[in-house]
Amino acid sequence: MPEFRDKHDLDIRFCVEVLKLQSLHYGWWTGEELTLDNLRKAQVRYTEKLVRLIPSGVKDILDVGCGVGDNAIALAKKGYHVTSISPEKSHARFFAGLQNVRHQVARFEEFSTAEKFGLILMSESNNYFDPDIGLDQCDRLLRPGGYLLISGMFKAKDVCAYAGIRETEGSYVQKAAARGLVPQKSLDITREVLPSVQLGRKLYEEYAVPALAIGKEFVSGMSPLKRALMWLLFSRQVRLYLDTAQYYVERADAQLFTENVRYLQLLFRKA
Ligand SMILES: C[S@@+](CC[C@H](N)C(=O)[O-])C[C@H]1O[C@@H](n2cnc3c(N)ncnc32)[C@H](O)[C@@H]1O
């Protein structure tokens, strides 16, 4: 993934502050028109369906990579005790004062507690850390009979042209099995989330392309000396920005997505 992910968290800020989304995950679409408003509704539907996958008997949940808290809030409303973790310091404010939600700024790889959980949730966070380290942590943090629930992207085939996806379902299931995590459920919801990708493309073409053209025109109107100075001062930032833009152009390519990605909901149980 590009460098900005660790350093600037630009994409998350863009979703929350510019697009005014209350969730960072894809939406579950049922044939609606591609609009931001329908994306917001589809994101709520995604969370409702995710919560329904939690097996009975679960009481306490570790929400790994909890984003801006919409899943944690929905879970807490259902009466679960939620511990939510994410490395973004700036996101702690979304969790302040929530009932039944305890928030901690931490990377999953380093998260440590004496507690054991009934379920670990990774909603679109499974690709943000090494799967072996993540599964070792699950092994450590789940009580016997506890569950791991993942909702997120997996490679459709071994050689994957879509950036940032680490595992196929098969390779992940093997790694999980090595830690005594037994598959209980596998749902493929690629078709249901695909319109989120298509909407990303539409927004990019409608807003980002004209905005970039204005910026380009502005820079090309400068004197060669000013342009050279600007490049000297800001080349690193410009490269970072262009890498970020390129990353999202790829992420919003529906064909690349359908050929390379399976969006899966996987439930495992610790033996
Ligand atoms: C795409 S967002 C998903 C957020 C949320 N789970 C949701 O469904 O909306 C990915 C989340 O993973 C978090 N994250 C990134 N690196 C992480 C790590 N090493 N350990 C735990 N969470 C991480 C990000 O801060 C972000 O909150």
CATH assignment of the domain containing 111: 3.40.50.150
For the segment 127-133, the average pLDDT, to the nearest whole number, is: 97
Instruction: Measure 116 CA to ligand 1 centroid, in angstroms.
Output: 21
Asked which of 4-18, 69-83, 87-101 is least confident by mean pLDDT, the reply is: 4-18
The token pair at 13 is 């800020």
pTM here?
Answer: 0.89
Task: Tell me which of 125, 126, 135 to substitute to probe ligand 1's pocket, judged by most ligand atoms within 8 Å of the beta carbon.
Answer: 125
pLDDT beyond 90 at 93: no
Q: Do 172 and 213 share a domain, yes or no? A: no
Atom of ligand 1 nearest to the CA of 107: 20
Residue-level pLDDT at 3: 46
Asked if residue 247 and residue 154 are part of one domain, the reply reads no
The answer, yes or no, to whether residue 2 has pLDDT greater than 50, is no
The whole-number average pLDDT for the span 97-126 is 96
pLDDT at 9: 67
Q: How confident is the model at residue 210 (pLDDT cuts 50, 70, 90)?
A: confident
Residues 174 and 142 in one domain: yes
**Rounded-to-integer distance, Cα 1 and Cα 259, Å:** 19
Shared domain for 99 and 128, answered yes or no, is yes
Cβ pair 215, 230 in contact under 8 A: no
Radius of gyration of the chain (CA): 20
Q: Beta strands 81-86 and 101-105: pairing type?
A: parallel
In a shared domain, residues 151 and 225? no
pLDDT of 92 higher than 70? yes
The structural domain count of the chain equals: 2
215 and 146 share one domain: no
The span from the CA of 82 to the CA of 46, in Å, is 18
Residue 237 scores a pLDDT above 90 = no
Q: Residue 199: which residues within 8 A CB-CB, separation 6 or more?
A: 34, 35, 36, 39
Distance (Å) from CA 83 to ligand 1 centroid: 14
Same domain for 76 and 16: yes
User: How many other CB atoms are there within 10 angstroms of residue 62's CB atom?
Assistant: 27
In this prediction, residue 1 carries a pLDDT of: 44
Pocket of ligand 1 (CB under 6 A): 23-25, 64-67, 71, 85-88, 107-109, 123-125, 128-129
Its domain, for residue 74, covers 4-192+260-270
For residues 206 and 155, membership in a common domain is answered with no
Residues 183 and 210 in one domain: no
SS (H, E, C) 146-184: EEEEEEEEEECCCCCCCCCCCCEHHHHHHHHHCCCEEEE
131-166 confidence digits (pLDDT tens): 999 999 999 999 999 999 999 999 999 888 888 899
Q: Binning pLDDT at 50, 70 and 90, where does residue 179 land?
A: very high
pLDDT band at 204 (very low <50, low <70, confident <90, very high): confident
User: Diameter of the chain by CA atoms?
Assistant: 68
Does residue 193 register a pLDDT over 80?
A: yes
Do 151 and 180 meet the contact criterion of CB atoms below 8 Å apart? no
Lowest mean pLDDT among 27-36, 200-209, 252-261: 200-209
68 and 145 fall within a common domain? yes
Asked if residue 146 and residue 218 are part of one domain, the reply reads no
Under a CB-based contact definition with an 8 Å cutoff, are residues 153 and 127 in contact?
Answer: yes
Is pLDDT of 6 > 60? no
Q: Which is more confident, 42 or 7?
A: 42
128 CA: nearest ligand 1 atom: 16
Cβ atoms 148, 176 nearer than 8 A: yes
Give residue 221 CA to ligand 1 midpoint distance, Å: 41
Q: Same domain, yes or no, for 175 and 42?
A: yes
Q: Is the pLDDT score of 173 beyond 70?
A: yes
Distance 65 CA to ligand 1 centre (A): 3
Return mean pLDDT, the chain. Answer: 91
